[in-house]
Amino acid sequence: MIDVDDLLDLVRAYNPQTDADLIREAYSFGLAAHKGQFRKSGEPYFSHPIEVAALLAEVKLDDATIITALLHDTIEDTGATYKEIDTKFGDEIAQLVDGVTKLTNLELSSVETAQAENFRKLLLAMSKDVRVLLVKLADRLHNMRTIKSMPGDKQRKKAHETMEIYAPLAGRVGMQYIRDELEDLCFAVLNPDARNSIMRRFITLRAETGNLIPVIIEDIGKALARHDVLAQVTGREKRPYSIWRKMEETGQGFHRLSDIYGFRIITKNERDAYIALGAVHQRWKAIPGRFKDYISQPKTNGYRSIQTTVSGRDAKRVEVQIRTHEMHIVAESGVAAHWAYRDGERFKNPFAVDPFHWLRGLIDGFENAENPNEYLEHVKLEMFQDQVFCFTPKGAVINLPRGATPIDFAYAIHTRIGDSCVGAKIDGKRVPLWTRLRNGQSVEIIRADSQRPQPSWEDMVVTGRAKSAIRRSLRDEHKAGHIRLGAEIARVALGKIGKKATDKALSTAAKNMGLGSKDDLLAQIGTTQVTGNDLAMALYPELLKKSEVKGEKPAAEVVGLKEGQSHIPAKCCKPLPGERIVGIIARGRGVVVHTIDCDALEAYEGEPDNWIDLRWTEGMSTATHNTTIEIIMANDAGVLGRICTLIGEHNANIADIHFTDRKPDFYRIMVDMQVRNATHMMHIRTAIEADADIASVIRYRNPKNNR
| CA quadruple 679, 682, 687, 689: dihedral, nearest 10 | -170
pLDDT at residue number 553: 43
220 and 138 fall within a common domain: no
Active site residue 326: no
In the predicted structure, residue 349 carries a pLDDT above the cut 70: no
Q: What is the pLDDT of residues 249-281, one digit of tens each?
A: 666 655 555 567 889 999 999 999 999 999 999
498 and 534 fall within a common domain: yes
In the predicted structure, residue 32 carries a pLDDT above the cut 90: yes
252 and 325 fall within a common domain: yes
Split at pLDDT 50, 70, 90, the class of 406 is very high
In the predicted structure, residue 650 carries a pLDDT above the cut 90: no
**End of a domain among 534, 549, 564?**
549
> 281-290 burial, b for 16+ CB within 10 Å, e for fewer?
eebbebbeee
174 and 250 fall within a common domain: no
161 and 222 fall within a common domain: no
134 and 152 fall within a common domain: yes
179 and 62 fall within a common domain: yes
Q: Which neighbouring-strand residues pair with 320?
A: 263, 308
Write the CB contacts of 90 (distance below 8 Å, at least 6 apart in sequence).
none
Domain assignment present for residue 291? The answer is: yes
Q: What is the pLDDT of residues 508-528, one digit of tens each?
A: 788 878 887 888 888 888 777
In the predicted structure, residue 112 carries a pLDDT above the cut 50: no
C-alpha 702/C-alpha 697 separation (Å) is: 16
Domain assignment present for residue 375? The answer is: no
Q: Three-state DSSP class for 121?
A: helix
36 and 140 fall within a common domain: yes
| Residue whose C-alpha is closest to residue 131's, from 276, 297, 339, 293 | 339
| Three-state SS annotation for 239-291 | CHHHHHHHHHHHCCCHHHCCCCEEEEEEECCHHHHHHHHHHHHHHCEECCCCC
**End of a domain among 288, 316, 346?**
346
Mean pLDDT, the chain, whole residue set: 81
- Supply the range of the domain harboring residue 521: 472-549
pLDDT at residue number 338: 61
Domain assignment present for residue 410? The answer is: no
218 and 324 fall within a common domain: yes
CATH number at residue 256: 3.30.460.10
44 and 12 fall within a common domain: yes
In the predicted structure, residue 381 carries a pLDDT above the cut 50: no
pLDDT at residue number 348: 62
Active site residue 552: no
246 and 148 fall within a common domain: no
pLDDT at residue number 170: 82
Cβ atoms 192, 237 nearer than 8 A: no
Split at pLDDT 50, 70, 90, the class of 77 is confident
| Residue whose C-alpha is closest to residue 330's, from 309, 364, 358 | 358
CATH number at residue 18: 1.10.3210.10
- Domain count of the chain? 4
Split at pLDDT 50, 70, 90, the class of 552 is very low
Question: Catalytic pick from 76, 332, 377, 599?
Answer: 76
Domain assignment present for residue 581? The answer is: no
pLDDT at residue number 51: 95
Mean pLDDT of 452-468: 84
Domain assignment present for residue 284? The answer is: yes
pLDDT at residue number 163: 85
% of the chain beyond a pLDDT of 70: 82
C-alpha 41/C-alpha 39 separation (Å) is: 5
Provide the sign of the torsion angle of the four alpha carbons 266, 271, 275, 278, taken in this order. Answer: positive
In the predicted structure, residue 351 carries a pLDDT above the cut 90: no
Q: What is the pLDDT of residues 152-201, one digit of tens each?
A: 888 998 898 888 778 877 877 778 888 889 999 999 998 888 888 888 88
Write the CB contacts of 102 (distance below 8 Å, at least 6 apart in sequence).
121, 125
Domain assignment present for residue 578? The answer is: no
Mean pLDDT of 137-156: 91
Mean pLDDT of 411-424: 90
199 and 138 fall within a common domain: no
pLDDT at residue number 356: 59
| Three-state SS annotation for 622-680 | CCCEEEEEEEEEECCCCHHHHHHHHHHHCCCEEEEEEEEEECCCEEEEEEEEEECCHHH
**End of a domain among 190, 217, 250?**
190
Q: What is the pLDDT of residues 14-24, one digit of tens each?
A: 888 899 999 99
Q: Three-state DSSP class for 465?
A: helix
Domain assignment present for residue 653? The answer is: yes
CATH number at residue 681: 3.30.70.260
Split at pLDDT 50, 70, 90, the class of 145 is very high
C-alpha 16/C-alpha 593 separation (Å) is: 100
C-alpha 166/C-alpha 133 separation (Å) is: 9
Question: Catalytic pick from 25, 77, 84, 691?
Answer: 77
Split at pLDDT 50, 70, 90, the class of 54 is very high
Domain assignment present for residue 328? The answer is: yes
CA-based R_g, the chain, Å: 36
The residue with greater pLDDT, 600 or 363, is 600
C-alpha 668/C-alpha 658 separation (Å) is: 9
